[in-house]
Amino acid sequence: MEVRCYTGGNFAQNGYVAWCEATGQCVIVDPGAAALDMVAAIKAGAGELTAILLTHAHLDHIEGLGVIRDYSDAPTYLHPADREMFDNLPAQAAMFGLSSPQLDPPERELEDGESFRFGESVFKVVHTPGHSLGHVILHAENDGLAFVGDLVFAGSVGRTDLPGGDYQALFRSIREHVLTMPGGTRLFTGHGPETTVEHERTTNPFLAANYGGELA
Ligand SMILES: [Zn+2]
Ligand SMILES: [Zn+2]
């Protein structure tokens, strides 16, 4: 699997296109403000977009969804516990002093533990609440990488003060589902640079035993 990152917008959000090199099939993870660049790259690479996968339904991760849907009929996937937030996109935008149109609902649901396939690539879907109720991460075990959305970042963790946020749940999700991956697993995050499980385990100040780790 080849991963390309597209960053943009007020929140410097990272959206991704993941390609199966063997078949040319690809998926988009979190179409944010740089969605037009994603479409251009897929067109240029003659990729076949098969799905749009959302780690969660915060404004910055879905604001480019309309752009992608104008280009492709590929279905959108979201965990049902984030559906209410998805449906409240205009209210989310208003919280940040922005405006956004309502979006048509996601066509499909992501389910904890399911395997999602495109081309010869496969993601395991893992429900990881804490940053939002329906947050998921996408773990491509065979490729040694994961899309972790806003659960954990290089040197930081996701905020828990937005609706549906839960500090204890966030750390539980990180401990049980991120720190248990092989250390070399590459983590593609919703904001900031790529990192690895081992790097965060050893250097992330929020994951030191005397901080969040012992409270949950
Ligand atoms: Zn978020
Ligand atoms: Zn975000």
**CATH number of the domain to which 111 belongs:** 3.60.15.10
Task: Select from 75, 61, 62, 83 the least CA-distant residue to 134.
Answer: 83
Rounded distance, CA 162 to CA 82, Å?
Answer: 13
- Distance between Cα 60 and ligand 2 center (Å): 6
Q: Which amino acid is at 60?
A: D
Dump pLDDT digits (tens) for 109-166. Answer: 999 999 999 999 999 999 999 999 999 999 999 999 999 999 999 999 999 999 899 9
- Distance between Cα 78 and ligand 2 center (Å): 15
- Distance between Cα 189 and ligand 2 center (Å): 9
Dump pLDDT digits (tens) for 76-102. Answer: 999 999 999 999 999 999 998 999 999
Give the residue numbers spanning the domain of 34. Answer: 2-214
- Distance between Cα 56 and ligand 1 center (Å): 7
Number of domains in the chain: 1
CB-based contact 53:110 (threshold 8 Å): yes
- Distance between Cα 85 and ligand 2 center (Å): 13
Give the pLDDT confidence score for residue 93 in this predicted structure: 93
Beta-carbon count within 10 A of 215 CB: 9
CB-based contact 170:159 (threshold 8 Å): no
Environment of ion ligand 2 (residues, CB < 5 A): 60, 150, 190
- Distance between Cα 131 and ligand 1 center (Å): 7
| Tokens describing residue 19 | 């390609």
Closest ligand to Cα 191: 2
Dump pLDDT digits (tens) for 176-190. Answer: 999 999 999 999 999
Q: Between β-strands 195-196 and 186-189, what pairing exists: parallel, antiparallel or unpaired?
A: antiparallel
Q: Which amino acid is at 150?
A: D
Beta-carbon count within 10 A of 32 CB: 28
Mean pLDDT, to the nearest integer, of 195-204?
96
Backbone torsions φ then ψ of 30, nearest 5 degrees = 60, 75
| Tokens describing residue 143 | 């490729």
Give the predicted TM-score (pTM) of the model: 0.95
